[in-house]
A and B are shown apart, each in its own frame.
Chain A
Amino acid sequence: MAAPSIPSVTVNGRPLPLAGVSPHTTALDWLRGTGLTGAKEGCAEGECGACSVLVARPDGDGTRWTALNACLVPAAALDGQEVITAEGLGTPDDLHPVQHEMAVRGGSQCGYCTPGFVCSMAAEFYRSDRAADGPGAEVGPRERGPNGFDLTALSGNLCRCTGYRPIRDAAYALGSPSPDDHLAARVHRPAPAPAATRIEDRTGVFVRPRDLGEALALLGEHPGAQPVAGCTDWGVEVNLRGARAPYVVALDRIPQLREVAIPAGSDGTFELGAALSLSEVELALAGRVPLLAEVLALFASRLIRNAATIGGNLATASPIGDLAPALLALEATVVLVAADGDREVPIDELFTGYRRSQLRPGELIRSVRIPQPLAGHTAFHKIAKRRYDDISSVAVGFALDVVDGTVVRAKVGLGGVAATPVRARATEAALEGRPWSAATARAAAAVLRGEGTPLDDHRASAAYRAAMLEQSLLKLWSASGPSRAGGEASP
């Protein structure tokens, strides 16, 4: 599809020129500046979802209405795309089904978060496989409505008034889109192709290269360039800390960074393109890597996962970054690409210091590889104040193989306890070759407690972090067999 010559976004069915936007103007500020003030700013860091809007994203040959935090996405990144806001779903006299359920059930009180909830809810309303997830579907029943509605679709939306019960009831009361619903019909046609965008003002340039070669060339020409993908980290830097870059290069739609290889059997390697959003990774893997499925369900919120990419999560080299502890346990590797070719780096060598990695200037993450066979017993323990949409104080990924009662392989990845995500090698040594028993678990837990150098901060004390390391292994042991767990529900 040819890129429009003048940068513009189709909003609620109408093309709106991206006039006067700067490379750092957020989609939210731009939309509100056009008079579409339904989307609100509640936090400007992707935590509250008051700015949620729907964006038409590719889904195979069709389209998936995908809810995104408009406060994080640069307006320029939406060039050539289709966006629906709460105003575009319905009007007060002709409410959309989602709006109707929210309105009549007391789903709004002050109403400020409501347009965002409505957009997140509409994305799930239009999810094509929703009905198949209805009664009898296998996923956590506590968060799945009788209509297949996945309540975690709303995990990135905060409401301070209602206590959420009426919002849940509204979500669970939704039927299927009517036959003449044009947004439902839209999902059967391809999503808009990415535009070759270049938007520039005196503060800088936003460029969306067409392919990997162009991206690498741009990064080579502009040493201070900021590569971005989902902007869930960059957007926060821009909004909260005033970060500005002279040159912003958008990578999230580059085809060579979005390739997926899913092996048919239990041999072969999973390969996940770095520019896939975490939601796309969830869909692509479809539970084939249970440890990642467990992490992704707890990773931030649906709104964030719809934007954040697997490569972006690793490239920021956050000491917490929930994917890293799991990928460490999975012994994943990362393929790095530069103008002079590719190199493959084991993930435990990727991080070199606090928010620093092996990535050289001009180099990008192309993909993440996960080798098989996968460990037979995996678990992810995330310690946070809130179950969803929270940053871990401690994250632990376990991957164990137990053969004939002996731990033959143990890989443990940790987040939040050192300057980088780390492997718990002493713990692994305390497990491998030993019988999988309460004594081994206790001994290894004591070792695990001493791994890393946890800090005191506002999320948790160092003592709690250390205790949680120990407890995570005890919990793993407790959950590892129904006989031993005394019939307890798994965590």
Chain B
Amino acid sequence: MSELSERPVDAVVGLEVPHESAALHATGTALYTDDLVVRTKDCLHAHPVQAPHAHARVTALRAAPALAVPGVVRVLTAEDVPGVNDSGVRGDEPLFPSEVSYVGQAVCWVLGETAEAARLGAAAVEVDYEVLTSLVLVTEAIAAGSFQGGRPTVARGDVEHGLATSARVFRGVTEMAGQEHFYLETQCSLAHVDEAGQVFVQSSTQHPSETQEVVAHVLGLHAHHVTVQSLRMGGAFGGKEMQPHGYAAVAALGAVLTGRPVRVRLTRTQDLTMTGKRHGFHAGWTVGFDPDGRLQALDVTLTADGGWSLDLSEPVLARALCHVDNAYWIPHVRLHGRIVRTNKTSQTAFRGFGGPQGMLVIEDILGRCARPLGVDPLDLRRRNFYAEGQSTPYGQTVRHPERARLVWDQVVASGRVEERRPEIAAFNATHEHTKRGLAVTPVKFGIAFNFKAFNQAGALVHVYKDGSVLINHGGTEMGQGLHTKMLQVAATTLGVPLERIRLAPTRTDKVPNTSATAASSGADLNGAAVKHACLQIRSRLDELAAGREIAWEDLVREGYLGRVPLWAAGFYRTDGVEWDAARMQGHPFKYFVYGAAAAEVEVDGFTGAYRILRVDIVHDVGDSLSPLVDLGQIEGGFVQGAGWLTLEDLRWDESDGPTRGRLLTQAASTYKLPSLSEMPEVFHVSLLQGAHEDGAVYGSKAVGEPPLMLALSVREAIRSAVAAFGRDRDSVELPSPATPEAVFWAIERARAGATDEPVAHVAPGVG
């Protein structure tokens, strides 16, 4: 057991404690960025002028009419930018564009004494456009050769040979839609210039350091002139990793130019139409199996819809390519990736970060091929699991492959899967118009940033003379319970009760150069840094105590009087991770997280509507740092994943009409996320026991993203139920999302006895 992972007896980590802000949440007293406005004197409000075209050149912009609107104070345009006019870090996202690249892009911003004045001012700004041709569909962009970023390939073995020697070969296309984050708190920043001339920005951001960097370059300042604080976020899910920067910059620019605090808070429709989403993907594939259904070869071209700018599309694509294998050994692989540039919002990080899209491809392949192969889908999946000593297509040895089998077998047992399958078959035999389906799917998800430098973190821990402890660390709180875990880590390391410790809001002047709280790595990285800081203080105090039984407060007082430093900076860098982005080979992940889910659905043959009757999950979080928090992440991730795969339906205007490229589902009334009525009716989640992870803080594992992909079981269960409307041996193709309408048409095809076309039975090879 490593020193990092070793857990003392009587540890505070591992205890089931509520979220550290739960009582504040429940009483409405937890403050979010926009709640600070009422406490801010003379605050100005910003409103964007949004472009109505998918692609156009701005030929004229007349702000004067806005300035005539009562209460309008200023219109911010490109001319006002003292530094770099870009809201990202790649130079391809103009903050005030001269050419608009998607419907809804902000051309300029109006500042008003009230939100209403700013709104009316924005409506009065006159902008002339020269409309240019636009690309909306991925397929249009592919045809037009509109690509951006690198075109990486992950390869191993000899795919041609593997396919030629396969007993059965199938070809198909899998397409999947994106997903709106729909964090309940929309993007929000509040900036002012403080008494020391520092630009201080309160921002709902997962990546305060990068928000700081962008604010600084827009203002033409060095980083030390700008401080960003992320108090807490009302949800983020990746949507506040890069998206907040531009809004923070607008607020900061306004504050610098007017000398007054400026608030930027997007309305829901602005947020939906302006900010990036989960990438939709298009995958064309050819797969070969041996006579027993073992995967032999897989050739995939994965095309991500990047939207108008590159944003995080390249690392998202890399993670997608690294998760096409999911939990399965495939000897010969070629996974080719590319990113199209379309005239839509710039798609970005979203829980899973490409992993879900990659996994959907292989699960879709197995789901569609199982019946033509004559292999039970459960058997087909389990049969293909990695074994000890095998490695991923990108060359990383799969550590703990037995855990995939372990969680799978546990969920099959605890979910009574083998007993329920005949019950479901009996139900289906007696119900003409209602069918049930059950599926089990695995998850293997790699933890760490592919970009090596991001795998570092810092913390700052102060012990005051009275024995109270204050923690700062670089991670942000978005509801995932990171702060709760950090308090537990500090309490465990220092050996003091939780009540003695307070956690301060995340800000860039406390811990610099932080990484985004992303990639599920928040607790791994910051937990290790907090532990490192606490250990330094603890060991100094232990030395002072020299074996005496002495109360914490007394020891601390002695320490102060004895001139022992009672604060420490902690630092952590993940070892053992290496990634060659050019070759797409290496050891990018510190470890893998495993999980398995068994889902049962009931589908109404009249409408295609479905209910999730029961879900059983066994999931690996290592030795949990905070079981209530981890349970919440698993359940919440699962339901969010089920939303992506079934209900949530982003629709863009693909017509050639005047509103081409417009997001049609741009309000809560048209973009539907799961509500209470979509929750699994029976929902059993258990944590894999004895799952100590040697390489992480107190033996724990990351939890944020992997459970989302357990929801693939719902999609496969729907497929199984749809198949029951037909001859049960045909392949069922299911769009993603599998909305009731999509399911209804799939049922109609199954009833008609259609074998879904995209799985073409290619002539068998030598096999």
Contacts and interface: CB of A to CB of B under 8 A. Distances in A.
A151 B745 CA distance: 32
B25 A103 contact: yes
B268 to A, nearest CB: 5
B21 interface: yes
B129 interface: no
A47 B665 CA distance: 14
A319 to B, nearest CB: 15
> Chain A interface: which size bin?
35 or more
A460 to B, nearest CB: 6
Interface string A139-168: 000100000000110110111111111111
B113 to A, nearest CB: 13
A231 B206 CA distance: 36
A489 to B, nearest CB: 7
Contacts of A389: 675, 677
B744 A467 contact: yes
A38 interface: yes
Contacts of A45: 268, 667-669
B499 interface: no
Contact of A103 (B23, B119, B480): B23
A471 B25 contact: no
B606 A472 contact: yes
B635 A37 contact: no
A33 interface: yes
Contacts of A160: 181-184, 235, 237, 636, 640, 673
B267 interface: yes
Contact of A48 (B184, B430, B676, B739): B184
Contacts of A115: 25-28
Given A161-B636, A458-B670, A475-B433, A111 B234 contact: yes
Interface residues of B, number: 84
A102 B22 contact: yes
B679 interface: yes
Interface stretch (B30-38, B140-148, B373-381): B30-38
B635 A50 contact: no
B614 interface: no
Contacts of B636: 109, 160-163
Interface in B477-498: 478-481
B604 A491 contact: yes
A166 B19 CA distance: 13
Interface string B431-456: 11110000000000000000000000
Contacts of B434: 488-489
B269 interface: yes
A39 B639 CA distance: 25
B464 interface: no
B628 interface: yes
B315 interface: no
Interface in B655-684: 664-665, 667-670, 672-681, 683
Contact of B639 (A44, A48, A163, A461): A163
B109 interface: no
Contacts of A98: 26
B199 interface: no
B504 interface: no
A89 interface: yes
B607 A468 contact: yes
B606 A471 contact: yes
A137 B21 CA distance: 37
Interface in B677-713: 677-681, 683
A491 B635 contact: no
B29 interface: yes
A110 B235 contact: yes
Interface string B168-204: 0000000000000111111000000000000000000
A47 B669 contact: yes
A104 B18 contact: yes
A356 to B, nearest CB: 21
Interface in A110-124: 110-115, 118
Contacts of B681: 142
Contact of B632 (A154, A161, A387): A161
Contacts of A163: 632, 635-640, 674, 679, 683
Nearest to B70: A202
Contacts of B760: none
Contacts of A360: none
B167 interface: no
B764 interface: no
Interface in A298-336: none
Contacts of B432: 478, 486, 488
B651 A86 contact: no
Contacts of A236: 669
A164 B647 contact: no
Given A95-B23, A161-B632, A486 B430 contact: yes
Contacts of A32: 35, 38
A236 B604 CA distance: 33
B639 A164 contact: yes
A468 B741 CA distance: 9
A253 B124 CA distance: 38
Contacts of A390: 672
Interface string A14-36: 00000000000000000011111
Contacts of B29: 38, 87, 91-92
A381 B29 CA distance: 42
A329 B397 CA distance: 66
30 contacts: A36-B28, A40-B184, A43-B669, A99-B27, A103-B19, A103-B23, A103-B26, A106-B22, A106-B628, A108-B479, A110-B232, A110-B478, A111-B30, A112-B184, A151-B676, A152-B676, A155-B676, A155-B677, A159-B184, A160-B184, A160-B673, A164-B676, A165-B683, A457-B664, A464-B741, A464-B744, A471-B607, A487-B430, A487-B431, A488-B432
Leading 4 A-B pairs by shortest Cβ distance: A38-B28, A110-B479, A112-B234, A111-B25
Interface of B: 18-19, 21-32, 34-35, 38-39, 119, 123, 181-186, 232-237, 267-269, 430-434, 478-481, 604, 606-607, 609, 628-629, 631-632, 635-640, 647, 649, 651, 664-665, 667-670, 672-681, 683, 739-741, 744-745, 748
